[in-house]
């Protein structure tokens, strides 16, 4: 007899498991050989795109129509076979966003080559660590990034070179025999941000990515015309990595930006009639603040939705965004590199009104909220560590089995390390990273809670809170604050503002004013840098 599941929250009291409230997404049988590329093109057949642009460059307006997409993918695949690439080889990709990157990914997937994208701004030491983990046979770079790479088994191929253009347009792919690629085969090695430890290589399979695409498709509302999706998120981050290929599989026009520029983004939205804007929290913050006065200069009426992921938005930012764009839903999602991206997602205008939520569980996904001390599963509205299970969960960490054991158990449950809770309607609320909780005497203080308060202050543009060592308390909350231009707000005013709204143990005890908060590409605060700064004796800029 099936255990009863609460139809509102998805929670099963008997098993302490939360179940998705979304319709189940049909998945291909696990034993059927299927690459991400094959699956993407099978979905695309349902859209019958011929004249629509598949890919558009936001700056140059160079377009690649859907009618040319299979030819380009096959041409690249044939060219790569010719230079010796074969199944299970790895390819390091060190390039900024461009119209060619999704095509490159699809070509490599079709050959069973493992795609391993890296931040073009990565330091030489980070790149060395990534090469040690993924052991690439070939690298793809640009003339700006190639100097960071050592010699590999095959030469480095530059995406901005005549050679790559020739590979892209080769006609010698007739009779191309593709290897049999299984869903259990490794498709990608993505690098964790390393914000709380050394960089890890997350192993994602073709099945992981296929399941993610299927889950996203199951939750999508039907459209009468193709979406125009502008992705400002880096294609090396799991958010952009999945989004660019997923959007192609769904028949969208994907607009790429080489590097982020607010004015270029807004102009592209207006002139290309962008319907879906995928961005990281720092861009949402900039838009909510008016984008240095440029937002009002552009017609953003084509936008149907703004998608934010990679890090949570504070309630203060969401409310500010809604005041500036009252008819534009901003949808959040929660996910990790280890879960192939989002495992909860907000869908539609009504769900976007649930302030602070990062959406509901996607199709085919289960979750638990576990008491970090007892390991007992918790019901709705109780905070604990979020654990997730489903076809999206990574295969493991490459060359680091010791790192897998603490986070992935034999039943497939992944410990996220995040303090969260589900409400009675099945919406997930992120509280903070467990590792980043400030230990003040016997109390635990979530930095994110204090950051939300600080960002609601009219003179505060951005803020981050870190633990500062204290002989008596162990740690005290310290705030780094970016003041509004022209503001004279001082340290004591900031501390008093917070003190009036929190319990005594949550008070901010130190404040330092700073020009900008250091963040990584998806918008996560680089607390390690701020901790170093605080310990170096940085003074408040009053």
Compute the average pLDDT of residues 521-539.
Answer: 80
Position 386 scores a pLDDT of: 97
pLDDT at 195 over 50: no
pLDDT in tens, 376-405: 999 999 999 999 999 999 999 998 878 888
Compute the average pLDDT of residues 258-269.
Answer: 94
pLDDT at 239 over 60: yes
Lowest mean pLDDT among 187-196, 240-249, 416-425, 525-534: 187-196
Using a pLDDT cut of 90, give the percent of the chain over it. Answer: 73
Compute the average pLDDT of residues 61-77.
Answer: 95
Position 192 scores a pLDDT of: 81
197 — pLDDT class (breaks 50, 70, 90):
low
51 — pLDDT class (breaks 50, 70, 90):
confident
Compute the average pLDDT of residues 448-473.
Answer: 90
Question: What b/e readout covers 104-128, taking b as 16+ CB neighbours within 10 angstroms?
Answer: bbbbbbbbbbbbbbbbbebeeebbe
Length of the chain: 542
317 — pLDDT class (breaks 50, 70, 90):
confident
pLDDT at 281 over 90: no
Position 541 scores a pLDDT of: 34
Q: Cα–Cα distances in Å, from 533 out to 254, 345, 489, 511, 526?
A: 39, 35, 21, 12, 11
Residues ≥6 apart with Cβ < 8 Å to 508:
450, 454, 465, 477, 478, 479, 494, 495, 498, 499
pLDDT at 49 over 70: no
Position 48 scores a pLDDT of: 59
Lowest mean pLDDT among 274-278, 348-352, 367-371: 348-352
Question: What b/e readout covers 182-204, taking b as 16+ CB neighbours within 10 angstroms?
Answer: bbebbbbbbbbbebeeebbbbbb
Position 126 scores a pLDDT of: 85
Of 377, 365, 303, nearest to 336 (Cα)?
Answer: 365
Position 193 scores a pLDDT of: 60
More confident residue, 336 or 474: 336
pLDDT at 531 over 80: yes
Position 539 scores a pLDDT of: 43
More confident residue, 156 or 294: 156
pLDDT at 313 over 80: yes
442 — pLDDT class (breaks 50, 70, 90):
low
Phi/psi region, residue 483 (left: phi>0; alpha: psi -120 to 50; beta: rest), is beta
Q: Could you tell me how far CA 293 lies from the centroid of its own chain?
A: 27
pLDDT in tens, 346-362: 998 899 999 999 999 99
pLDDT in tens, 116-168: 999 998 888 889 989 999 999 999 999 999 999 999 999 899 999 999 999 99
510: which strand partners?
478
What domains, with CATH codes, occur in the chain?
A: 11-428 (3.40.50.12780), 439-535 (3.30.300.30)
Position 53 scores a pLDDT of: 94
Give the separation between CA 333 and CA 73, rounded to whole angstroms.
Answer: 30
Of 304, 302, 264, nearest to 283 (Cα)?
Answer: 264
pLDDT at 540 over 60: no
């Amino acid at each position: 007899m099936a255990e009863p599941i609460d139809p509102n929250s998805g929670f099963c009291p008997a098993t302490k498991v939360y179940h998705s409230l979304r319709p189940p997404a049909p998945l291909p049988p696990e034993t059927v050989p299927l690459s991400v590329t094959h699956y993407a093109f099978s979905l695309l057949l349902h859209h019958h795109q011929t004249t629509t642009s598949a890919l558009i460059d936001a700056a140059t307006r160079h377009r690649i129509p859907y009618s040319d997409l299979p030819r380009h993918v096959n041409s690249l695949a044939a060219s790569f076979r010719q230079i010796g690439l074969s199944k299970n080889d790895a390819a390091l990709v060190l390039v900024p966003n461009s119209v060619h990157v999704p095509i490159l990914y699809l070509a490599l997937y079709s050959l069973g080559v493992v795609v391993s994208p890296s931040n073009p701004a990565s330091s030489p030491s980070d790149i060395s660590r990534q090469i040690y983990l993924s052991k690439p046979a070939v690298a793809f770079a640009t003339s700006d990034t190639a100097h960071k790479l050592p010699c590999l088994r095959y030469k480095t191929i530059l995406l901005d070179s005549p050679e790559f253009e020739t590979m892209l347009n080769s006609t010698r792919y007739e009779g191309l025999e593709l290897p049999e690629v299984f869903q259990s085969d490794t498709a990608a090695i993505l690098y964790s941000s390393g914000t709380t430890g050394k960089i890890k290589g997350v192993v994602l399979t073709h099945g992981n990515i296929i399941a993610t695409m299927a889950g996203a498709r199951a939750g999508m509302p039907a459209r009468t015309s193709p979406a125009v999706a502008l992705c400002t998120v880096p294609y090396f981050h799991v958010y952009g990595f999945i989004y660019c290929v997923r959007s192609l599989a769904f028949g969208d026009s994907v607009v790429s930006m080489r590097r982020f520029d607010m004015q270029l983004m807004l102009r592209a939205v207006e002139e290309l009639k962008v319907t879906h804007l995928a961005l990281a929290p720092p861009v949402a913050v900039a838009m909510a603040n008016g984008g240095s006065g440029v937002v009002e200069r552009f017609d953003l009426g084509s936008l149907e939705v703004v998608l934010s992921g990679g890090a949570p938005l504070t309630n203060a930012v969401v409310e500010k965004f809604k005041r500036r764009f009252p008819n534009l839903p901003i949808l959040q999602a929660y996910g990790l590199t280890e879960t192939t991206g989002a495992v909860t997602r907000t869908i539609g205008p009504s769900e976007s009104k649930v302030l602070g939520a990062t959406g509901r569980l996607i199709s085919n996904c289960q979750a638990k909220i576990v008491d970090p001390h007892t390991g007992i599963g918790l019901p709705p509205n109780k905070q604990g560590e979020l654990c997730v299970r489903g076809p999206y969960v990574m295969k493991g960490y490459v060359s680091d089995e010791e790192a897998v054991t603490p986070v992935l158990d034999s039943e497939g449950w992944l410990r996220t390390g995040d303090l969260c809770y589900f409400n009675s309607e099945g919406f997930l609320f992120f509280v903070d990273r467990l590792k980043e909780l400030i230990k003040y005497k016997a109390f635990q203080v979530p930095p994110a809670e204090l950051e939300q308060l600080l960002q609601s202050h009219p003179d505060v543009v951005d803020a981050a809170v870190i633990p500062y060592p204290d002989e008596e308390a162990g740690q005290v909350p310290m705030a780094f604050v970016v003041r509004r231009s022209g503001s004279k707000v001082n340290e004591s005013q900031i501390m008093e503002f917070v003190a009036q709204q929190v319990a005594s143990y949550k008070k901010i005890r130190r404040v330092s004013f700073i020009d900008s908060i250091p963040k990584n590409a998806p918008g996560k605060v680089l607390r390690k840098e701020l901790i170093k700064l605080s310990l170096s004796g940085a003074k408040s800029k009053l």
